[in-house]
Amino acid sequence: MTATAATPVLVGGVCGRFAARHHVSPRLVRAAAVLLAVGSAGLGILLYVALWLVTPATTAYAASEAVASPPSSARSLYGPVAQDLPRVDEMLRSIAQVEHDWLRRMLEHSVAGGGKRMRPAIALLAGRLGDYDLDKLVPLASSVELLHTATLVHDDVIDAAPERRGQPTAAALFNNASSVMLGDLMFAHAAEFVARTGNIRVIRNFAATLGVMAQGELKQDMAAYEYSEDVQRYLDRIYGKTASLFATAAENGAIVTGAAEEYVDPMRRYGEALGMAFQVVDDILDFTGTAAEMGKPVGSDLLSGTLTLPTILYMQRSPDDNPVQKAFDGVRRRANLQRAIEEIRASDVLEESMATARHFASLATSALEELPPGDPKDSLAGLVDYVLERRT
């Protein structure tokens, strides 16, 4: 696309984003821009009117009222279920249809998005192994994503995080007390969604996973600034925090559509192993990604007192002169943590951590060998590669 062709899209996109954020019509925003141009220069009026005429009227504001088509990246990543993911987004947005404006804004902000929707996509792909019934699968996939989102809302309260994926967190916008209750409301909606499946086995799995996830978060919170963490405790923690939900998405997707029982356990093992690999890679990216890519400072987990695999391996190699231990003991905390981050980035512990991620990825791939050939299996295999190669 040339610079000339891109200009209308750029300007129209800016207006659309402003309109979506403030819940006003894009036409009003454009009209205001024209009036502003009147006060500056007649040439500005002519240029903007020209842009207005060639820019499509459909913007983020209008698109939010309908089920959007999946982006090309989703189509390539999720294959046969990409076209159904917008139905999950539509169901997630439905929880914001409430009477009170302030609550609607909180819910809209929290479910608006970001992320690849990987967990609901896995549930849909698993559903392809049985009777692909979207009346059951969409509520299931939505419950998985909403449970994940609710935990992030609570995480941001605990971590006092100002941003996530480069956007203000609910806690930063609406205060901690309101955000805690917001997360609780989202948990309730997630439970209602999964109940729509009418499958008691699926509902029990969901409830058990919620408990495991809560324990994982509690373990992380209780271990803050605790430098005795070892690799096994870390792996146990990330299973509860992350991998358990991947496992449930995969297993329940197969169960709810009546897939053969011989496929249910491999799907659970696939989801668990993929989730472990996902979290290990996430913890590596916390050091190797840029602040712009990750939407948070480099080394943010360590800065907040959480030990992840790269830091644990680094500490095991430097037991005598360890800036992490000094920092956690309160000695020049910021300076010592920054030193640790720089030394971790320069060391080979990141590659050693990546070997752990590849190990779990291989377990996920092995589980897929027990599934029948076809597009769902191919897409699930592609997700393994994506998890290892992702940059955000």
pLDDT tens for the chain, residues 1 to 392: 433 333 333 334 444 444 444 444 444 444 444 334 334 334 333 333 333 333 333 333 233 333 445 555 667 899 999 999 999 999 999 998 988 888 888 888 888 866 789 999 999 999 999 999 999 999 999 999 999 988 888 777 776 666 676 677 776 777 777 788 888 899 999 999 999 999 999 999 999 999 999 998 888 888 788 877 899 999 999 999 999 999 999 999 999 999 999 999 999 999 999 999 999 999 999 999 887 777 778 898 999 899 999 999 999 988 878 899 999 988 999 999 999 999 999 999 999 999 999 999 999 999 999 999 999 999 999 999 999 998 87
- Per the confidence metrics, is the pTM higher than 0.85? no
Q: At what angle do helices 349-368 and 309-317 cross, to 10 degrees?
A: 130
Query: Considering only CA atoms, which of 154, 128, 130, 276 is closest in space to residue 210?
Result: 154
pLDDT of res. 348: 95
Domains of the chain, each with CATH number or no CATH: 3-63 (no CATH), 72-389 (1.10.600.10)
Beta bridge partners of 167: 164
Q: What 3-state DSSP class applies to 167? A: strand
pLDDT of res. 99: 83
What is the secondary structure of 86-124 as a DSSP string? HHHHHHHHHTT--S-HHHHHHHHHHHS--S--HHHHHHH
Task: Count Cα neighbours of 262 within 13 Å in the Cβ-side half-sphere.
Answer: 4
pLDDT, tens only, 333-391: 999 999 999 999 999 999 999 999 999 999 999 999 999 999 999 999 999 999 999 88
What are the E-state strand segments in the chain? 163-164, 167-168
pLDDT, tens only, 297-320: 889 899 989 999 999 999 998 887
Query: Considering only CA atoms, which of 358, 245, 223, 239 is closest in space to residue 301?
Result: 223
Q: What 3-state DSSP class applies to 169? A: coil
